[in-house]
Structure 1
Amino acid sequence: MKKLILAAFLIVGTGVMAQTSYGIKGGLNYGATGDYENFSDIAGDATTIEGKSKTGYHLGGFARFGFLGIFLQPELMYTRLNTEYGSIDYKLDKIDAPILLGVNILGPLNIKAGPSFQYILKNELENSNLKVSDVENDITLGYQLGAGVSLGRLGFDVRYEGAFTENTAFSDTASENFSIDSRPSQWIFSLAYSFN
């Protein structure tokens, strides 16, 4: 009986190991952060500007652990997200760590979804004299969902990323009274290369 159990563990373990892969990935993202609000109006009214989507980029690595058509895919990515507020450009640099659960559905096609942990590295305004402070929370939780195609060592992904909670950045000085909702809302287009 012990030999049978040991043999079963070896077979399952070998199967899991045979479906483990890792590699690098990168690509473009297109989206924006939330609204820019300026509270400096004398009457106390806030001026709100909706963020205009712009193109950014991402680069990093991934691992995939698969078994019976289901896989777990943790990633570690550096992401630059760009947003335009009128003549002002807002740049947000972050480390993304999504942990996605996926299913192979038709041949090379798969779908995946899961939480994405985000660590804000830097946020800044360009084309403006305004200074922005750090965001409220350096670490936030969002989500990603999408679909992909695996063709040998190459993989192509399309995903949507959103956020569960607000994460506001405020003006850096008392004379400036504005805030930026730094939550991402973006489409992610990736090319991946697996080493094994």
Structure 2
Amino acid sequence: MLKMKKLVMICLLMALGFSASAQFSLGPRVTLVNSKLTLKDAVANVEEGDAEFGYQFGIFMRAKVPVIGLYVQPEILFSKAESVLSVNNQDVSFEFNKIDVPIMIGGKVGPLRINAGPSLSFLTDASRSDVAGDIKDNYKDTSVGYQAGIGLDLLKFVFDVKYEGSLSQFGETIRVGNTTVNTDQRTSQWVFAVGFKLF
């Protein structure tokens, strides 16, 4: 949680640092995500399931960097993502609640924005349909990924379509029956976002 507070402070300082510019924007953000839990290492009796929908909400800030013409867009989003794995030929649903902090760097090509950057995720709780209680301890508190995509600004609305991949593993083990096996779980997702510029 201390790391999260530091990141929030960095984002706020970035916003304040560029606030004198007419190119500074801030507003609410809502996002539909289509996420999948992938297994980079094969595990007996465990298979990847279909992608599932989730959502995010929070705020975004955007500031044009003087001279070079690019912009920086940090976001702070509360996220709920769902994934499915097949364990012993039965679908098992996983639900993850996180705080996501993507920091996008981009520029304009005609009417479109093209952007990419790192995305940090902080896990707040996790659950599994066939296990009672919170399973957060089975996963890393923090994971690092990347996002890349395109966007369009229309009046005060901000639209984005992005792909997010993982640079670090999210989980190292999974329970199969009474046995815990090693694996390399990573999340990937498509992000469909809408924001509104308050100023």
When normalised by structure 2's length, the TM-score is 0.77
> What corresponds to 2:52 in structure 1?
54
> What corresponds to 2:197 in structure 1?
194
CA distance in 2, matches of 1:178, 1:36: 14
CA distance in 2, matches of 1:14, 1:27: 25
Cα displacement string for residues 126-177 of structure 1 (whole angstroms, at most 9, x for unaligned residues):
2x14774524421121101100000121011000001111121545799342
CA distance in 2, matches of 1:161, 1:38: 22
8 A Cα contact 1:101 1:113, kept in partner: yes
8 A Cα contact 1:25 1:60, kept in partner: yes
User: Does residue 148 in structure 1 map to residue 148 in structure 2?
Assistant: no
8 A Cα contact 1:147 1:158, kept in partner: yes
1:92-107 maps to which residues of 2 (within 5 A)?
92-107=96-111
CA distance in 1, matches of 2:182, 2:123: 16
8 A Cα contact 2:40 2:183, kept in partner: yes
CA distance in 2, matches of 1:14, 1:114: 19
> What corresponds to 1:117 in structure 2?
120
Equivalent pairs, count = 176
**Quick one: which of 150, 163, 168 aligns to 1:165?**
168
> What corresponds to 1:79 in structure 2?
79
* Structure 1: runs of 5 or more not aligned: 1-12, 40-45
When normalised by structure 1's length, the TM-score is 0.78
CA distance in 1, matches of 2:100, 2:18: 31
Change (3 A) 1:37 1:14: closer
1:65, CA displacement in angstroms?
0.5
Change (3 A) 1:26 1:179: farther
* Structure 2: runs of 5 or more not aligned: 1-16
